[in-house]
Amino acid sequence: MDNERIIVDPEIAHGKPVIKGTRVPVEIVLGSLAGGMDILDIAEEYGLEREDILAAIGYAAKIVAKEEICAYA
């Protein structure tokens, strides 16, 4: 995963993670994938590279890996 492709800057998109050099939020990329769009279609739609989309997936995977679910009986 190329961490340099995802940035968090309070001056861009209210500090949400975006694809570097764009204002495309990671959540838009992930939502598009979840909605059934193909990687190449997303790349074309938002002017991204395939590697940008893979970096967004990797970023989300890192976030989810840190989550802890507390189950109460």
Domain borders along the chain are 3-66
* Mean pLDDT per 10-residue segment, the chain (73 residues): 81 93 96 97 97 96 87 73
- pLDDT value at position 69? 81
- Domain 3-66 falls in which CATH fold? Arc Repressor Mutant, subunit A (1.10.10)
Model pLDDT, residue 73: 64
pLDDT for the residue 1: 44
In the chain, how many H helices and how many E strands? 3, 2
Q: For residues 7-24, b (16+ Cβ closer than 10 Å) or e, as one string?
A: eeeeeebeeebbbbeeeb
